[in-house]
């Protein structure tokens, strides 16, 4: 499928209701307002198409850029391309989708480190969103994430709004690993206290970090208990 066909489909699938919702979450025009379900249909139709992904991103169209991140091939994604795309970001949702591409690349940890030290709101959000994704991977050792807890504790209240939100999500994800690192994350969360996040014209609420961590761990333990042991 070529870019002309895809852009036509995006416009056809969009709705005014979705456009309003997405704008409330910080999306900028041009925007079609395509639902997640319809985007998944387009992903299924196009599979991984890296050339198309690059063409879609270059349009500057909100839905096209989300679709681009969904069909980009991590194996062909370079740091230069990620840096180029990051410079054009204008919403936290696009930053999260871009982070989802980064986490599948060999340079994910490096990009996370780069983002965590950035003063740019979207780049900072990408870094901490990648941290949260990596922390959810239980095959990675706790010692990768333990040193980040003091950083979050020290800096979270002074970072830009959406970076701050991603830092809180990273804290929760680290705590959600369970064990000793969860106790360290809980202690950090107690010292951090309430985190002020402006969610704009939405019904979103800032999660209470400590019970959220515990729910993640409890869910994982319950799921593990139901999984038959390998023979």
Q: Tell me what percent of the residues of the chain surpass a pLDDT of 90.
A: 96
- Residues in Cβ contact with 108 at an 8 Å cutoff, skipping those fewer than 6 apart: 102, 130, 133, 134
Query: Band of the pLDDT at 227, cuts 50, 70, 90?
Result: confident
* Residues 96, 122: Cα–Cα separation, whole Å: 9
Closest listed residue to residue 193, CA positions, set 162, 152, 140: 152
- Final residue in a domain of this structure, among 51, 76, 101: 76
What SS3 class is residue 97?
A: helix
Closest listed residue to residue 129, CA positions, set 178, 173, 86: 173
Is pLDDT larger for residue 145 or for residue 225?
145
Nearest 10 degrees: Cα torsion 78, 96, 35, 40: 40
- For residue 67, being part of any structural domain is answered with yes
* Same-domain check for residues 56 and 165: no
- For residue 86, being part of any structural domain is answered with no
* Same-domain check for residues 136 and 106: yes
* Same-domain check for residues 153 and 211: yes
8 Å CB contact between 136 and 176: yes
* Same-domain check for residues 35 and 140: no
* Same-domain check for residues 127 and 27: no
How many secondary structure helices (H) and strands (E) does the chain include?
13, 0
- For residue 169, being part of any structural domain is answered with yes
Query: Band of the pLDDT at 230, cuts 50, 70, 90?
Result: low
* Same-domain check for residues 127 and 48: no
- For residue 139, being part of any structural domain is answered with yes
The whole-number pLDDT of residue 206 equals 97
Instruction: Answer yes or no: is pLDDT of 89 > 90.
Output: yes
Domain that holds residue 71: 1-76
pLDDT tens-digit profile of 31-81?
999 999 999 999 999 999 999 999 999 999 999 999 999 999 999 999 999
Closest listed residue to residue 64, CA positions, set 43, 82, 87, 92: 43
- Final residue in a domain of this structure, among 24, 44, 76: 76
Q: Tell me what percent of the residues of the chain surpass a pLDDT of 70.
A: 99
Tokens (6 digits) for 155? 């800096």
- For residue 82, being part of any structural domain is answered with no
Q: How many domains is the chain built from?
A: 2
* Same-domain check for residues 72 and 179: no
* Same-domain check for residues 112 and 72: no
The average confidence (pLDDT) of the chain is 96
- For residue 203, being part of any structural domain is answered with yes
* Same-domain check for residues 229 and 181: yes
The whole-number pLDDT of residue 226 equals 86
- For residue 84, being part of any structural domain is answered with no
* Same-domain check for residues 117 and 227: yes
Asked whether the whole model's pTM tops 0.85, one would answer yes
* Residue carrying structure tokens 């809980």: 186
Closest listed residue to residue 133, CA positions, set 173, 168, 98: 173
CA 104 to chain CA centroid, nearest Å: 12
8 Å CB contact between 208 and 168: no
- For residue 85, being part of any structural domain is answered with no
List C-alpha distances in Å: 2 to 33, 36, 122: 20, 21, 30
* Same-domain check for residues 13 and 104: no
CA 32 to chain CA centroid, nearest Å: 21
- Final residue in a domain of this structure, among 45, 76, 107: 76
Closest listed residue to residue 35, CA positions, set 6, 3, 66: 66
* Same-domain check for residues 132 and 177: yes
**Upper half-sphere CA count for residue 83 (Cβ side, 13 Å):** 8
Query: Band of the pLDDT at 228, cuts 50, 70, 90?
Result: confident
CA 56 to chain CA centroid, nearest Å: 20
């Amino acid at each position: 499928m070529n870019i002309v066909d895809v852009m036509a489909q995006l416009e056809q699938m969009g709705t005014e209701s979705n456009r309003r919702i997405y704008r409330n979450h910080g999306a900028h025009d041009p925007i079609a307002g395509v639902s997640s379900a319809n985007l998944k249909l387009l992903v299924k139709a196009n599979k991984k198409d890296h050339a198309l992904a690059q063409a879609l991103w270059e349009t500057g169209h909100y839905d096209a850029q989300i679709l681009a991140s969904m069909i980009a091939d991590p194996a062909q994604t370079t740091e230069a391309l990620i840096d180029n795309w990051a410079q054009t970001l204008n919403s936290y949702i696009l930053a999260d989708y871009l982070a989802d591409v980064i986490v599948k690349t060999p340079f994910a940890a490096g990009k996370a480190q780069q983002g965590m030290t950035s003063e740019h709101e979207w780049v900072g959000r990408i870094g901490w969103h990648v941290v949260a994704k990596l922390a959810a991977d239980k095959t990675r050792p706790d010692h990768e994430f333990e040193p980040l807890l003091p950083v979050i504790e020290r800096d979270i209240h002074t970072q830009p709004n959406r970076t701050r939100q991603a830092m809180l999500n990273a804290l929760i994800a680290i705590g959600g690993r369970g064990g000793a690192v969860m106790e360290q994350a809980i202690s950090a969360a107690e010292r951090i206290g309430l985190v002020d996040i402006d969610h704009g014209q939405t019904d979103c609420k800032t999660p209470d970090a400590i019970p959220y961590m515990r729910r993640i761990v409890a869910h994982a333990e319950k799921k593990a208990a139901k999984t038959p042991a390998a023979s």
